[in-house]
Amino acid sequence: MDFFIDTGDIEEIKAASEWGIIDGVTTNPSIIAKTGRTQEEVIKDICEIIDGPISAEVIATDKDGMIKEGKELAKIHDNVVIKLPLTEDGIAACKWFSENGIKTNVTLCFSSNQALLAAKNGATYISPFIGRLDDIGVDGMGLIQEIRHMYDMYGFTTQILAASVRHADHVKQASLIGADVSTMPFKVIKQLFHHPMTDIGLAQFLADHEKSKK
Ligand code: E4P
């Protein structure tokens, strides 16, 4: 499973990249707004830190506008993946990018039928939003399971990118189901490391080592 970090915070990206476990980065307009900088500036900086897929989202809502914006974003770096909303225009634009060799991440996916549409038009990634479904009382992980089953049945190569991940158990469950990628906020990546037994065990080892030093 690939690990992406879901942030525009350059310090977080640098810190996580030091751990050697980050394969890519996702952003969205809300994430970019928090940085107080332009999308282009943020994406350029990220591309210098992480050598992997970096998702940058279009703002246009019509197909031609999405294609125009996406073409500009794709010029920033070969690793840029064009993030498109799961709308009629977004799915049509996805087909254009697929046919023109530009990678896409179809976002705001909340149903398996939507995931089928993205796969049919050659999306590189589909982003089902687990946490936002859980928030409205719908089983987000169940959606990942349905999409995995459908894609495997029909041999679709679109990668399932588990998004809107809120805690470490989401990562474990998505990985057990066979999601290809989890994109996580920095705080969730940190949660993956921690277990109280590790802390207790390490404290004991260090204390015993002190006793054995004479
Ligand atoms: C990732 O591509 C999404 O933009 C992100 O995971 C959304 O997460 P949220 O529901 O916590 O905003």
Q: Residue 213 has what pLDDT?
A: 79
Q: Residue 150 and residue 66: Cα distance in Å, rounded?
A: 28
pLDDT grade for 201, boundaries at 50, 70 and 90: very high
Helix axes 112-120, 88-99, angle to 10 degrees: 30
Q: What is the pTM of this model?
A: 0.96
Question: Is the minimum distance from the CB of 27 to ligand 1 under 6 angstroms?
Answer: no
**Per-residue pLDDT reduced to its tens digit, 74-131:** 999 999 999 999 999 999 999 999 999 999 999 999 999 999 999 999 999 999 999 9
Q: How far is the CA of 208 from the centre of ligand 1 (A)?
A: 44
- Share the mean pLDDT of the chain: 98
Name the burial class of residue 100, with classes exposed (0-12), middle (13-18) and buried (19+) by CB atoms within 10 angstroms of its CB: exposed
Give distance in angstroms: CA of 87 to centre of ligand 1: 17
pLDDT tens digits, one per residue of 47-81: 999 999 999 999 999 999 999 999 999 999 999 99
124 lines ligand 1 (CB under 6 A): no
Q: Give pLDDT tens digits for 159-168.
A: 999 999 999 9
Query: Considering Cα of 174, then 177, then 92, then 100, what sign does the dihedral take?
Result: positive
> Closest ligand 1 atom, CA of 132?
10
List of domains in the chain: 2-212 (3.20.20.70)
The answer to whether residues 12 and 190 touch, using CB atoms and an 8 Å cutoff, is no
Q: Is the CB of 114 under 6 A from ligand 1?
A: no
Q: How close is the Cα of 162 to the center of ligand 1, in Å?
A: 9
